[in-house]
């Protein structure tokens, strides 16, 4: 009579030791993940929509500032120096905020595709 060989502690008897493990979530059917994908897509659309609205608002501030400057200086409502100071005060932060929003939109689109 021969004695059975003891099983090694890392061998569960389910297959070879060299067998690779696969994540059951990555192998699962796409229908199981559809609610998560839909939530991710809805979140992406919401963020992009909000950032687009902010970008339109920034553009509106820039356009209104330029319009006020043209009308104000053209009709003599205020001096050219005041108009220049108004432009120096409003334009740089507006352009910086707009550039930040546009950069965020591009980054969001890149991350969403991955």
Q: What ranges do the domains of the chain cover?
A: 61-114
pLDDT tens digit string along 6-21?
555 555 555 556 667 6
Higher-pLDDT residue of 31 and 103 is 103
Residues above pLDDT 70, as percent of the chain: 68
Is there a contact between 98 and 55 (Cβ–Cβ < 8 Å)?
A: yes
For residue 112, the model assigns a pLDDT of 61
The tens digit of pLDDT for each residue in 64-93 reads 988 988 898 889 898 889 888 988 998 898
How distant is the alpha carbon of residue 93 from its chain centre? 22
């Amino acid at each position: 009579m021969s004695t059975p060989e003891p099983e090694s502690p890392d061998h569960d008897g389910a297959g070879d030791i060299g067998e690779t493990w696969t994540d059951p979530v990555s192998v699962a059917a796409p229908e199981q993940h559809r609610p998560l994908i839909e939530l991710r897509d809805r979140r992406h659309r919401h963020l992009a929509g909000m950032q687009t609205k902010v970008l339109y608002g920034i553009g509106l501030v820039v356009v209104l500032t330029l319009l006020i400057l043209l009308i104000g200086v053209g009709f003599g409502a205020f001096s050219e120096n005041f108009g220049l100071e108004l432009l120096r005060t409003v334009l740089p932060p507006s352009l910086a905020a707009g550039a930040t929003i546009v950069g965020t939109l591009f980054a969001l689109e890149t991350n969403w595709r991955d």
